[in-house]
C-alpha cells in the first residue's frame, strides 16, 4: 500500500477575482500518512500590479516588498513539481484553486482538479454546523496556538491549517491505546476495522434490595424450572 501524500496549502492575493487580481504568496507543507515531514514550499510572487490597501491590511505584503520577487511564470514549474499528484488540503478551497488555475492555465500548465482537493472549511461546516469555522475560530476550538498570526501569511496559515486538519480527521495520533482497569489492556485504531476487544469480567449487577425482591416476585409468577433462575442470583 502506497503512502498517502498531502499538501496543506494557502495563498495570499491582491484581491478577490483572478485576472483583475493576482497571487502574491504561496505556502505549502507536506504530510505523509498525516504526519508532517518538514518539507515546505514558500514563495512570494510579483503580481505585476499595484497592491490595494485593503489587501495589504490583511496580509501585510507591500508593493515595494514584492518589486524584486519573481513573477508566477518563473516559479510555476517549481510549484507544480513540489505538489506533484498529492492531495491538496485547503481552507475555502474554491478561492485558492480559482487563483492557482488562472495562473497555471496562463502559463500553459494543467489546471488543478477539485477531485484531488480536501476543503477543510466544508469539513468544519459538516462537523460544526452554524458555528464560526474560520481558521482563527478553528484554532481556538482545537486549542491550536495561533499567537504568531498577527496578519495572514501563506506558510504560517498552512502550518496552522495542518494542525486543524489533523484535529478534524480525529486528532494527531492515528491510533491510540486504552488501559482497561488494573493489569488489563486493549487497543483502538481510528479508521479501518479495529480488532474486537476481549470481554473482561462480567460487570456486577447493581440492584437495590427492593429491586431484587421485585425481580424475585416476577420470577415466582413464571413457575418452576424457569431458565432465567440459573443466572438470577436469587432462588434456585
36, 155 in Cβ contact below 8 A?
no
Which has the closest alpha carbon to 125: 89, 173, 92, 162? 92
* Distance (Å, whole) CA 127 – CA 88: 20
DSSP 21: B
Catalytic residues: 152
154, 42 in Cβ contact below 8 A?
yes
From residue 222, give the alpha-carbon distance in Å to each of 25, 28, 208, 218.
79, 72, 22, 7
CA dihedral 68, 73, 79, 85 (to 10 degrees): 170
The separation between CA 28 and the C-alpha centre of its own chain, rounded to angstroms, equals: 15
Q: DSSP letters along 101-144, please?
A: HHHHHHTTPPPPPGGGEEEHHHHHHHHSTTS--SHHHHHHHTT-
Amino acid at each position: 500500500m502506497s503512502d498517502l501524500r498531502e499538501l496543506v496549502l494557502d495563498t495570499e492575493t491582491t484581491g478577490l477575482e483572478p485576472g483583475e487580481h493576482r497571487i502574491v504568496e504561496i505556502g505549502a507543507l507536506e504530510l505523509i500518512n498525516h504526519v508532517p515531514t518538514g518539507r515546505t514550499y514558500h514563495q512570494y510572487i510579483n503580481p505585476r500590479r499595484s497592491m490595494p490597501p485593503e489587501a495589504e491590511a490583511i496580509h501585510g505584503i507591500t508593493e515595494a516588498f514584492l518589486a524584486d520577487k519573481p513573477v508566477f511564470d518563473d516559479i510555476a514549474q517549481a510549484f507544480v513539481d513540489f505538489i506533484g499528484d498529492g492531495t491538496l488540503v485547503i481552507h475555502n478551497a474554491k478561492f485558492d484553486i480559482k487563483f492557482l488555475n488562472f495562473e497555471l492555465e496562463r502559463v500553459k500548465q494543467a489546471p488543478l482538479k477539485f477531485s484531488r482537493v480536501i476543503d477543510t472549511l466544508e469539513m468544519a461546516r459538516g462537523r460544526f454546523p452554524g458555528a464560526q469555522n474560520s481558521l482563527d475560530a478553528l484554532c481556538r476550538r482545537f486549542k491550536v496556538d495561533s499567537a504568531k498570526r498577527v496578519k495572514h501569511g501563506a506558510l504560517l496559515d498552512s502550518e496552522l491549517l495542518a494542525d486543524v486538519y489533523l484535529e478534524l480527521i480525529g486528532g494527531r495520533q492515528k491510533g491510540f491505546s486504552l488501559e482497561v482497569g488494573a493489569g488489563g489492556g486493549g487497543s483502538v485504531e481510528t479508521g479501518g476495522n479495529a480488532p474486537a476487544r476481549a470481554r473482561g469480567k462480567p460487570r456486577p449487577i447493581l440492584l437495590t434490595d427492593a429491586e431484587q425482591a421485585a425481580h424475585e416476585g416476577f420470577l415466582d409468577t413464571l413457575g418452576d424450572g424457569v431458565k432465567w433462575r440459573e443466572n438470577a442470583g436469587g432462588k434456585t
